[in-house]
């Protein structure tokens, strides 16, 4: 079953979602080639919007086609680079005078012009002042939860979606919903965990580069992109705003009971840290300018989250450094430095945030706090030595790599061990107790996909019922700062030992 599952998930990751050959039909797309700046490709919807057969569009300039503002082309040439977009709201006489949001970007030697029909009236000043006020409040916010809740509440207010979720990805790529604002139309997903398979790798990569996508109506009929020969070229739509999305994802949305969705990437240090996901039970359009405002807001929120997490890390590291200084001072004052460590056991444990610690020198073992027995510790360090785990070893689930740990999982599911002698098996170890965690998944994570009946097609799972998983044999994870503290402490001990040895040699000489 597992191979079946991974085959289907691989298939997901191989879908070339940047080359769909079509767009969503709430607008039209024209591709111009440089330097001629004439139409070489167009979506079928362009014919409908411009009320002209498609073959008459090829070879034309924008001015010829749209009957609009003749300055458009030169503007485009000057303003649009590979990384920047051109944007303008435009009345198009050739489309019955309707108003469009025109979004242009460059793709190699092509200019991609997308025309989204304008919807309703957007009160930009109201949006601006909301965002401005929120930025003032942000400065007072001191916790991740507060920032995320504030953000989803404002984003829902601005866009009017039924539900807005903010979720972050963990190391395994699963999404954890940190904040939610919603009305009664859609159920709550707050604090649920979504399996990583819901968003395949290539989509995550694309979402780092192109931070916003919308699907105003999941049941849309894709509009093909055609060239003069009437065929659909493999044309990269990574930067497009109208790109037609994966049919598998459209199934997923239907299974979720949502007709419209939008999502905005939270990108931190070039990595997809999370997403803000917007859902509506019925179809819903969001003007481009409002999407841009949402993206702007999410970027501001992201930098606040980064600053908050960074300062938490920093203050943890500073705390640990001062504990280390105290320990080293005591060690320096005491002839038997090990005795110094054990008589200041609470600082020794605090150095990594542990509940127990042990010092192993050759075959003797000294314990402080909540630990396995001396024999169990010695067996464990013998295994460490044998399996050559390196100078600094850390796990939050000892039992998953060392089966005998099941006998002491309750007090020591988490272990950090540093070797303090090159010659003997000598170690300092820290232990953390098991914390039984219950994780609520949005649907059974073992069943991310369903195989079609008698065919090879893949479907996303159709249940989002929350599913409780009990995680045993795990401690709270060790933070990188805590492992660093153990590693720095090891270096300091080795130095003390070395200095002592030199002194002894000098005295003896």
Site residues, ligand BLA (CB under 6 A): 12, 15, 17, 165, 167, 175, 177, 189, 194, 197-200, 203, 213, 215, 245-246, 248-249, 252, 261-263, 275, 277, 448-449, 458, 460
Integer Cα distance of 228 and 416 in angstroms: 65
Q: Which two tokens stand for residue 47?
A: 């014919």
Integer Cα distance of 352 and 96 in angstroms: 69
Nearer of residues 104 and 460 to ligand BLA, judged by Cβ: 460
Q: Which two tokens stand for residue 88?
A: 């303008």
SS3 61: coil
Cβ neighbourhood burial of 465 (10 Å; 0-12, 13-18, 19+): exposed
Nearer of residues 175 and 222 to ligand BLA, judged by Cβ: 175
In the complex, least distance from residue 100 CB atom to ligand BLA, rounded to whole angstroms: 23
Place of tokens 């840290």: 273
In the complex, least distance from residue 18 CB atom to ligand BLA, rounded to whole angstroms: 8
Place of tokens 């998944």: 441
In the complex, least distance from residue 17 CB atom to ligand BLA, rounded to whole angstroms: 4
Q: Tell me the CA end-to-end span of the chain in Å, nearest whole number.
A: 70
* Alpha helix segments (H runs only) across 118-221: 124-138, 144-159, 201-209
In the complex, least distance from residue 469 CB atom to ligand BLA, rounded to whole angstroms: 17
Nearer of residues 28 and 194 to ligand BLA, judged by Cβ: 194
**Are residues 89 and 102 in contact, defined by beta-carbon separation less than 8 angstroms?**
yes
Q: Is the peptide bond before 35 cis (omega within 30 degrees of 0)?
A: yes
Nearer of residues 246 and 395 to ligand BLA, judged by Cβ: 246
**Are residues 24 and 117 in contact, defined by beta-carbon separation less than 8 angstroms?**
no
SS3 231: coil
Integer Cα distance of 463 and 447 in angstroms: 9
In the complex, least distance from residue 107 CB atom to ligand BLA, rounded to whole angstroms: 17
Integer Cα distance of 304 and 293 in angstroms: 17
Nearer of residues 54 and 260 to ligand BLA, judged by Cβ: 260
In the complex, least distance from residue 191 CB atom to ligand BLA, rounded to whole angstroms: 11
In the complex, least distance from residue 102 CB atom to ligand BLA, rounded to whole angstroms: 22
Nearer of residues 86 and 194 to ligand BLA, judged by Cβ: 194
In the complex, least distance from residue 217 CB atom to ligand BLA, rounded to whole angstroms: 12
In the complex, least distance from residue 7 CB atom to ligand BLA, rounded to whole angstroms: 11
Nearer of residues 24 and 419 to ligand BLA, judged by Cβ: 24
Nearer of residues 189 and 478 to ligand BLA, judged by Cβ: 189
Query: Which residue's Cβ has the minimum distance to ligand BLA?
Result: 12
Instruction: Write phi, then psi, for 223 (nearest 5 degrees).
Output: -105, 120
Helix (H), strand (E) counts: the chain: 14, 22
Nearer of residues 23 and 262 to ligand BLA, judged by Cβ: 262
């Amino acid at each position: 079953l597992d191979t079946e599952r991974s085959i289907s998930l691989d298939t997901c990751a191989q879908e070339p979602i940047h080359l769909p050959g079509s767009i969503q039909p709430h607008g039209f797309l024209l591709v111009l080639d440089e330097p001629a700046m004439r139409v070489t490709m167009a979506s079928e919807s362009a014919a409908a919007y411009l009320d002209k057969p498609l073959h008459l569009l090829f070879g034309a300039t924008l001015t010829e086609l749209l009957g609009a503002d003749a300055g458009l082309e030169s503007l485009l040439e000057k303003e649009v680079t590979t990384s920047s977009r051109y944007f303008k709201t435009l009345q198009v006489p050739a489309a019955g005078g309707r108003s469009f949001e025109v979004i242009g970007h460059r793709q190699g030697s092509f200019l991609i012009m997308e025309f989204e029909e304008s919807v309703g009236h957007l009160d930009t000043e109201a949006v601006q002042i909301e965002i401005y006020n929120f930025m003032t409040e942000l400065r007072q916010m001191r916790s991740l939860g507060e920032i995320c809740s504030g953000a989803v509440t404002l984003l829902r207010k601005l866009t009017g979606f039924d539900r807005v979720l903010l979720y972050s990805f963990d190391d395994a790529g699963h999404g954890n919903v940190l904040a939610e604002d919603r009305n009664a139309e859609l159920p709550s997903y707050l604090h649920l965990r979504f399996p990583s398979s819901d968003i395949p790798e290539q989509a995550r990569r694309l979402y780092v580069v192109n931070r916003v996508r919308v699907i105003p109506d999941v049941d849309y009929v894709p509009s093909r992109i055609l060239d003069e020969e009437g065929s659909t070229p493999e044309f990269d739509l990574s930067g497009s705003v109208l790109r037609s999305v994966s049919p598998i994802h459209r199934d997923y949305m239907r299974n979720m009971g949502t007709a419209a969705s939008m999502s905005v990437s939270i990108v931190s240090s070039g990595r997809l840290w999370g997403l803000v996901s917007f859902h509506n039970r019925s179809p819903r359009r969001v003007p481009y300018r409002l999407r841009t405002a949402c993206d702007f807001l999410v970027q501001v929120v992201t930098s606040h989250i980064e600053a908050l997490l960074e300062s938490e890390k920093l203050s943890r590291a500073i705390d640990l450094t001062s504990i280390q200084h105290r320990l080293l001072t005591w060690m320096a004052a005491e002839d038997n430095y090990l005795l110094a460590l054990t008589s200041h056991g609470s600082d020794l444990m605090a150095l990594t945030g542990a509940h127990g610690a042990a010092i192993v020198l050759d075959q003797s073992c000294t314990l402080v706090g909540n630990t396995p027995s001396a024999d169990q510790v010695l067996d464990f360090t013998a295994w460490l030595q044998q399996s050559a785990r390196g100078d600094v070893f850390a796990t939050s689930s000892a039992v998953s790599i060392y089966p005998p740990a099941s006998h002491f999982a309750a007090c020591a599911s988490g272990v950090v061990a540093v070797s303090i002698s090159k010659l003997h098996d000598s170690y300092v170890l820290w232990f953390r107790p098991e914390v039984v965690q219950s994780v609520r998944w949005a649907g059974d994570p073992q069943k991310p996909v369903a195989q079609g009946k008698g065919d090879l097609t893949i479907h996303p799972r159709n249940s989002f019922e929350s599913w409780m998983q009990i995680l045993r044999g795990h401690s709270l994870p060790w933070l990188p700062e805590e492992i660093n503290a153990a590693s720095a402490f090891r270096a300091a001990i080795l130095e003390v030992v070395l200095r002592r040895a030199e002194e002894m040699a000098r005295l003896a000489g």
